Structure 1
């Protein structure tokens, strides 16, 4: 009788049994199980340096311009600031409406007039859009379609109402949208794209700067 471990008697000693199990060994590390790796985090979930920076509280330079609008139609305000003062070309959509009351407690400079105009337009649900070398005053709901596209330039150089794209790295776009809800206007978020992790927001230069600081 053949001993255990020896090939069957009808097979040559150097012949392998085709029915025997085959064991394959490989050194291909790409197919080996990945090792778990744990790295300690910093424990910081916000940019504390930016969060601690004081808001610019410098006194604005005193100018020679004063405003005193008492329940004035927004069209008259646009003409006074954008036309008579800043000498800009502009159009006003026929469905722009609203009256405002505003006065300056101290004289301002021409550079301060534009942010004031945008603020007054925002009070009446209107917006100032710069397109093709001139400004257009339109209802805010009509500011984006056909007029604006997302940009990634700094908010400080925005001319009127604009759209900004914010690429995110450490949080999903829809989650950031939820976090911004208490701090942003109701129509500020244009889109939140989780596939590209991109948050698109609209507003004036001042509003966009605040959104970016919060993000």
Structure 2
């Protein structure tokens, strides 16, 4: 595995909850887990630290970072501003290939829900929203969404399985709006999709605080 592949695998494992916030990440353990030497692991940890998934402490090592409530709130607000804009642009700018890819990802997500393969949903969901951003025709928007997508996946990781069926039905509605070339409908459907996910996340947070 290359350092990039190790980074992706470890990031996926953190998002899935295989490694929890505050857990120590040792090079030896990770090298054994992914079947590589310590060198690509070291590079992967540096990348994940830059992305905010890991943090190093002097004389203590590297640990899974903690996603603060303030950071989560910022991510939710930024997503609510950017993605409806992406969708409205994508309705008139997307290519047939991009629409086909979005439909394919939606089918894969729905199949994963039916088969109970919920650990695949975060990756599929992130890729769907990355392709949607690319379909906007704006390189800047696509870059911003891609940079945020994995942190957003981390915010929603616990919630995705709970509302999985509804979420992927909403993805299907997004595809329909894009196929129809309806920019207003695409904007509305994506805004509602994000609002539903954010509402579920905040409800869980309040429940955790009350409990």
User: Same fold judged by TM-score > 0.5?
Assistant: no
TM range (shorter): under 0.3
Rg larger for: 1
TM-score in terms of structure 1 length? 0.24
Q: Which structure dedicates a bigger proportion of its chain to strand?
A: 1
